[in-house]
């Protein structure tokens, strides 16, 4: 006789991750011996900058780095981040009150939701979006309310469509530009509108800058903190993961509104003990040792891949458009397919993995996402296989099963 163990009830409310299903199918295909080409996961394929690796190695040998880090983060890393914001965005931050080290932005975002939202509160989340925003709201007992992002509005939220009741209960609003998964970008005027709305309604706006350095064709992405009065309501996450090819290192900063950061600090001091000092020192090197040159080299790589993919997908009958930011292509599915059926057919008949748009929310249905994080030869092989399916002429009938 054994009394069954039961996970917390709130886990039952966490939606099934379509991605998990996709990973399972991908693993099955690999196990069958299929040579899988994955455009699925947005994880940079190239190495971290050499000076950053060298700093880590050096710092790892210093015994003072073998102890617990400071709770709010290493003062020198926070100062380097403040210095970077001043140079890059013209935004002056107080490194003590307005900058905090987080263990990757995913950690910071998650704990900020716990710090700010409680049962009965609303968290405004874009749809489609990085799933963590809504999932953490659910775990914290709050209610995610979606702001649909549609192509006709440039994938920007329509603030007029949020109901007065939801506005009244809203504690947080998430925005993310350049956007995952759509590749859409925002101008400073868009942030001005969002900041004005959030100031008026006492909502903390969380700007996720994961792709801010990945831009093309002369476009430079702004920070929401460039907007006057933004620091009264805005918290921004600057992650080193994607721009510096450092996803494995788990290092980012939360910057902006000091009250919200203070609340985040209370959750964090009771949850984690901060990121390793050696990693923070290495991240300082990334921020101070000619980062612009590194971004320029990386963006040249992504731009070449982007243009080649757009060309190749169009030749395969897909309506791909080149984004000005991020390393994703957000491609509407051809007639006769759903995003799920297209992703399934690409995997089953071509060994090609893409992310179905509905994995990012209901408004993502009808799109698939291609990540440009694979080398030229794999990319070309993927395109060759996609072309061989003749998608433009084979939709109805074969696809929906």
Ligand X SMILES: *Cc1c(COP(=O)(O)O)cnc(C)c1O
Three-state DSSP at 173 gives strand
Distance CA(295)–CA(293), nearest Å, equals: 5
**Residues binding ligand X: what is the number (CB under 6 A)?**
14
Considering only residues 284-323, where is the footprint of ligand X by CB under 6 A?
none
Which range, of 28-36, 45-53, 100-108, 335-343, touches ligand X by CB under 6 A?
A: 100-108
Q: How far is the CB of 86 from ligand X (least distance, A)?
A: 22
Look at residues 197, 261, 203 and name the one whose alpha carbon lies nearest to residue 233: 203
Question: b/e map of 276-310 (b: 16 or more CB within 10 Å)?
Answer: bbbbbbbbbbbbeeebeebbeebbebbbebbeebb
118 within 8 A of 107, measured Cβ to Cβ: no
Per CB under 6 A, 268 contacts ligand X: no
By CB under 6 A, is residue 59 in contact with ligand X? Answer: no
210 binds ligand X (CB under 6 A): yes
Residue 318 — φ and ψ, nearest 5°?
-105, 145
Q: Phi/psi zone of residue 194: left (φ > 0), alpha (ψ -120 to 50 degrees), beta?
A: alpha
Residue number with CB closer to ligand X (104 or 382): 104
- 127 or 386: CB nearest ligand X: 127
Query: What are the DSSP calls for 195-221, one per residue?
Result: HHHHHHHT-EEEEE-TTTT-B-TT--P
Q: Are 389 and 383 in contact (CB under 8 A)?
A: no
359 binds ligand X (CB under 6 A): no
111 binds ligand X (CB under 6 A): no
Least distance to ligand X from the beta carbon of 21, Å? 19
Rounded CA gap, 18 and 14, in Å?
A: 12
* Binding segment toward ligand X, per CB under 6 A, in 29-37, 78-86, 160-168, 235-243: 235-243
Taking the CA atoms of the chain, what radius of gyration do you get in angstroms? 21
275 lies in the binding site for ligand X (CB under 6 A): no
- Only segment of 101-109, 214-222, 226-234, 266-274 that touches ligand X (CB under 6 A): 101-109
Sign of the CA dihedral with 34 first, then 38, 41, and 45 last: positive
Least spacing, CB of residue 103 vs ligand X, in Å: 8
Q: Does 207 bind ligand X (CB under 6 A)?
A: no
Burial of 153 from C-beta contacts in 10 A (0-12 / 13-18 / 19+): exposed
Does 208 participate in binding ligand X (rule CB under 6 A)?
yes
| Cβ closest to ligand X, residue 89 vs residue 174 | 174
Task: Establish if 243 lies at the interface with ligand X (CB under 6 A).
Answer: no
What is the CA 61 to chain-centroid distance, rounded?
33
Chain mean position to CA 329: 14
Query: Least distance from C-beta 211 to ligand X, angstroms?
Result: 7
State yes or no: residue 241 binds ligand X (CB under 6 A): yes
Interaction between residue 137 and ligand X (CB under 6 A): no
By the rule CB under 6 A, 136 interacts with ligand X: no
By CB under 6 A, name the one of 38, 65, 101, 105 that touches ligand X: 105
Q: Kindly tell me which residue out of 48, 101, 110, 247 binds ligand X, with binding defined by CB under 6 A.
A: 247
Residue 373 near ligand X by CB under 6 A? no
104 is a site residue for ligand X (CB under 6 A): yes
Positions touching ligand X (CB under 6 A) are: 42, 104-106, 130, 176, 180, 208, 210, 239, 241-242, 247, 252
């Amino acid at each position: 006789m054994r009394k069954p163990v039961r996970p917390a009830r709130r886990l039952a409310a966490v939606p099934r991750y379509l991605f998990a299903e996709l990973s399972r199918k991908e693993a099955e295909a690999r196990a069958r011996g299929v040579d899988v080409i994955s455009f699925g996961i947005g994880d940079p394929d190239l190495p971290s900058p050499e000076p950053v690796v060298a700093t880590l190695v050096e710092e790892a040998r210093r015994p003072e780095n073998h102890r617990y880090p400071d709770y709010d983060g290493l003062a020198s890393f926070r100062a380097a981040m403040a210095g970077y914001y001043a140079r890059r965005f013209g935004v002056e931050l107080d490194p003590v009150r307005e900058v905090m080290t987080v263990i990757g932005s995913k950690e910071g975002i998650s704990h900020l939701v716990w710090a700010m939202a409680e049962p009965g509160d609303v968290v405004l989340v874009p749809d489609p979006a990085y799933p963590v925003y809504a999932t953490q709201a659910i775990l914290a007992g709050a209610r995610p309310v979606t702001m649909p992002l549609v192509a006709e509005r440039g994938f920007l939220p329509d603030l007029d469509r949020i109901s007065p009741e939801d506005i009244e209960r809203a504690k947080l609003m998430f925005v993310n530009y350049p956007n995952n998964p759509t590749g859409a970008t925002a101008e400073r005027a868009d942030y001005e509108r969002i900041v004005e709305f959030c100031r008026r309604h006492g909502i903390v706006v969380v700007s996720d800058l994961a792709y801010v350095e990945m831009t093309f064709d002369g476009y430079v992405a702004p920070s929401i903190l460039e907007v006057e009065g933004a620091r009264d309501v805005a918290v921004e996450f600057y992650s080193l993961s994607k721009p510096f090819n450092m996803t494995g290192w788990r290092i980012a900063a939360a910057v902006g509104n000091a009250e919200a950061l203070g609340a985040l600090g209370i959750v964090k001091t009771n949850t984690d003990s901060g990121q390793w000092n050696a990693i923070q020192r290495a991240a300082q090197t990334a921020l101070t040792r000619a980062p612009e040159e590194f971004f320029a080299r990386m963006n040249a790589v992504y731009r070449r891949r982007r243009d080649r993919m757009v060309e190749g997908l169009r030749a395969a009958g897909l309506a791909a458009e080149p984004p000005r930011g991020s390393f994703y292509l957000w491609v509407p599915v051809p007639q006769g397919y759903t995003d799920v059926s297209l992703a399934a057919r690409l995997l089953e008949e071509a060994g090609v993995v893409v992310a179905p748009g509905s994995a990012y929310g209901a408004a993502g249905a009808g799109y698939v996402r291609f990540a440009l994080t694979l080398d030229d030869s794999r990319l070309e092989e993927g395109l060759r296989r996609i072309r061989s399916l003749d998608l433009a002429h084979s939709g109805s009938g074969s696809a929906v099963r």
